[in-house]
Structure 1
Amino acid sequence: MKNVIKTIGIWLYILGCLVVGSVFAQDVHFTQYTATPVYVNPAMSGFHGSNYRAGANFRTQWNAVSTGNTYRTFNMFADFALGKPTYYSNYAGIGINFYSDQAGDLNYSTNKVDLNVAYHFILDNKGTNSISAGIQSGFGMRSIDLTNAVFANQGGGFDPLGGETINRERYAMFDVGMGFLWSYSPNKDRSYYLGTAMHHLNQPELSQFTSIGVSDRMYAKFSVIGGMQVPVGERMHLQPSFIVNRQGPSTEINLSTLVSYSFNREPFDKNSIAFGMMYRGPLDAIALLTRVNLETLAIGFSYDVNISSLSSASRSNGGPEISLVYVGKPKNRGSERYCIPF
């Protein structure tokens, strides 16, 4: 009888992990997605009107749901324009992105590094219209800590569930992706962009139970991202943007709008402050956004309010997110170009 109960416990654990796995098989998301360009689309690598750019994001969420460890995500990136890009010349870019995601009391963790290579085609002699293409390769590690896992058949103590079943508490994965971007920036007051990205095209294996033939491959993710910056006054600019992610059966829609005020009549992250809101759907969260631009440094803060069916458990709390983006100054005026306002 004890063996029967243990067997049932094992399979309930497997079922639970598959359900949880289907949730965590979805990629992490950021409220300030425009502050994670290298993560969002490999075609954006090196496309920033300067020679280099670096940034970081940190967010926590669902503190009211987890009694121990919270849900934390950290992301940092750097990307570079290769050669000496001018207004009219095509050029290449490279980018590297790292993120670390930790979820819940069992420390379901993902650590991943992506390397991007992009090429930017300038379509006119003014450098205002361009198309970019990028490819991505990534290597990651996933793990789960079963130390704190307690099941009904354990009687409150630790009773191993059979090491021959859970054969991948820690495993590596490799994946590939690609992206495209169109951008049009006729002057320093206006810019428009639209892009698409495809991640996890090889659908890496995520199952922790491969020894018993249980497979759980990561869904490929398809994204469409777009936005614009248009003047609404002498020093004010409207910056609406969106990103739609489709991954397996799940669709996520993010709509964001910022209104920025430039202190020195110069847009594009030069001494300005912005406020706005973001909606994540269907019916997931809304967030308040603010960003301060100090010449080459942008500092952003946002806070999510949960409006999903989990709002009662999460007490409607989502999570705070902080972002930092630094864009280096061009080496010379000839290399400075109008770019989308990330």
Structure 2
Amino acid sequence: MNEQDTTAARDALAAVVRLSSGLVPWQGSHGPVVFLESAGHLEFGLGLRGAEGVVFSPGDPGTEEGVLGYEGGLAEPGDEFLAADTLFVYTQDYLATPFLAVAGPTIVRIGSAADYSGFLEDADLARAKGTFVEQLLHPGVFLADQCALGSAHPCPGTYRLHVSASGEVRTAPGGRVLGTVTSQVPFDAGDEPCLAEVVEPEVLRRERARRPWLSRYLRAVEVLRDLRAAGRHGYTVSGFGHRLTPGLPVELDEPADAPLLLWNDEEHLVCDLVRERVFRVGADAAKLVELLLTGGSPARACELAATHLGLDAATTADALDVLTGKLAGTALPVTGAAA
């Protein structure tokens, strides 16, 4: 594969992941991604994508800029998708995940109530035991519709759109119908648009409320997958079956958007995936980070440090001030540590 083909395949995969995952990019300028099941709706799709968007249209895309031709599909389990002549993407249902033999980029979809129940069971296991589904950590596996699954993942709304062969417009294959290609009004995603035809919106809201840590679980899967892609393994995630600080309860809930603390035998990492920042810290500093995450404030972290680490308030406050500078730009509550 030459460099041009490699770049085209990489860009196409990035667009597929944005389209499928429902994740909103933190940085960079990206327009909407529109997936058309019928080339007959190409003119309509071009009107949706804006100046910087991407349209996937079946067959030969011609010379229209921002239009990528494809074969196959991305909606149903077993679908195979080919774009840019070199990118193959597979689609599987969630319950098949533990049995996946990953041969290339794979989109894993919640396609039924049973799939959703399986997802919740796996999330609960990770929370209680620190055991993650191995296949979800593969660098080539991407979980779809995370905006509907996570407690704090913002929905991209009409930033991604799926247009069926019959002309129905949704945010995702399992989402509710927003309108059709003949609609005369702007599309409004509204509330719970992305899995509404698969799981009742009331059920999604109820289960997220019961598990305020679901977005942290999804981000833990993401960071572990990214580390695997870089050849780094064996990490434990604070709050998922384990704590670094002796005696600190696992069941404490960190803020949903706060960074994750991970460690293995070689390093301790503070990973802020919302802001796309990663810091390496020492073991002692990592424990203070954990106390900040679980305590929610420097003052509470000082109290926890006295209980679990035997540190006096002045020593802890000084150490937190150092962390303030090192971890600037993350969502950690590290300001005012000496107050």
Q: Fold conserved (TM > 0.5)? A: no
Task: Choose between structure 1 and 2 for higher RCO, CA contacts under 8 A separated by at least 6 residues.
Answer: 1
More strand by share: 1
Q: TM-score, normalised by structure 2?
A: 0.24
Q: TM-score, normalised by structure 1?
A: 0.24
More helix by share: 2
